[in-house]
Amino acid sequence: MKKMVLFTFLLLTLIFVSGCATILERYYTPVDPEQTEEVLFNVPSGATTSSIANALFEEELIQNVNAFKAKVKMMEVDGMMKAGDYKLSQSMDVETIINKIVNGDTFVETITFTIPEGYEVRQIADKLEAEGLIDREVFLDILANEPFDFKFLEGVDRQFLLEGYLFPDTYTLKASADEYAIIYKMLSRFNEVFDETYYARAEELEMSIDQVVTLASIIEREARVKEEFPIVASVFHNRLKVNMLLQSCATVQFILQERKPVLSYDDIAIISPYNTYMNAGLTPSPIASPGALALKSALYPDDTNYLYFVTKETNDGSHYFNETLEGHNRDVKRGN
């Protein structure tokens, strides 16, 4: 008789526990599977499983406090949930919410900005300041004076404000990022692009890194069509080999700080070390931020005998290329 009573008790207990588990499981599901809009939920330092459960219930992110606590125990993560801000939604089930908090998958407010290829430091500073991300004077002072431990900056004259080395790209940083952090991020991106094979190739060409970046910046500002970048690069390499003036309009535009579509005779007669109509060789520093294609083209130009190029009349950014001045003059007439 006693055995029968004990068996009945155990059976009823099992049924009760099973029934409770089944009931709790109903509450493990999302509050509203269709509601994917995320809300910011804060877990304060020192919060307990109970306090987190109550707060989640008040925010209508879970259906049942006890079910949440039961799931935490089942997952063996009691006391392991981390403080911080989390983005949660009613479409998340209880296990997903617990995992996010246990893993510390916190929400971090970020900023995003884009620097186009061919931007000069002055334009980068203006853009970032206009977007409320920097103080322009602080930004420029860091460019001139703060140390950065990157191999490619060895020997670079800081009076040029790291022109050419702030790599053009789209960046996402923490909202708390200051001017130094922004500059460091852009230099780090340059460091990723300019890998060891590029250092070896620069040495093979007997060019310093600064010369490569300077040439790449001129290519960036002159080339428009993707396929023409290595061809434009070949023109400048060929001119440098024979000590011929580069005669790049982009270098004069850099002096003017204006992207004039047509330069006057007075413009190309400006006395400046950046005027490649007046001075042989490269400019004293880069004139803009070259992108990945321009850097690669500066290091690996096409094998041509071209010495000249001029914009086509099609106005699509493409050029006529020629080996002789006579042929170039014919191209100029066609382009006009």
Strand partners, 310: 320
State residue 265 phi and psi, 5-degree precision: -65, -35
Every domain range in the chain assigned CATH 3.30.1490.480: 26-102
State residue 173 phi and psi, 5-degree precision: -130, 170
Say which range, 118-122, 125-129, 262-266, 332-336, has the weakest mean pLDDT: 332-336
Which residues neighbour 126 within 8 Å (Cβ) at sequence distance 6 or greater? 136
The span from the CA of 259 to the CA of 219, in Å, is 15
pLDDT by residue (tens digit) across 1-41?
Answer: 555 545 454 444 544 445 555 667 788 999 999 999 999 99
What pLDDT is attached to residue 97? Answer: 97
Average pLDDT, the chain: 92
Question: 317 pLDDT exceeds 60?
Answer: yes
pLDDT average, residue stretch 194-223: 97
The span from the CA of 191 to the CA of 198, in Å, is 11
Q: What is the dihedral of CA 64, 69, 75, 76, to 10 degrees?
A: 180
Q: What CATH topology corresponds to 26-102?
A: Dna Ligase; domain 1 (3.30.1490)
Q: pTM to 2 decimals?
A: 0.80
CA distances from 13 to 5, 18, 97 (A): 12, 8, 31
Q: Categorize the per-residue pLDDT at 264 as very low, low, confident or very high, splitting at 50, 70 and 90.
A: confident
pLDDT by residue (tens digit) across 133-185?
Answer: 999 999 999 999 999 999 999 999 999 999 999 999 999 999 999 999 999 99
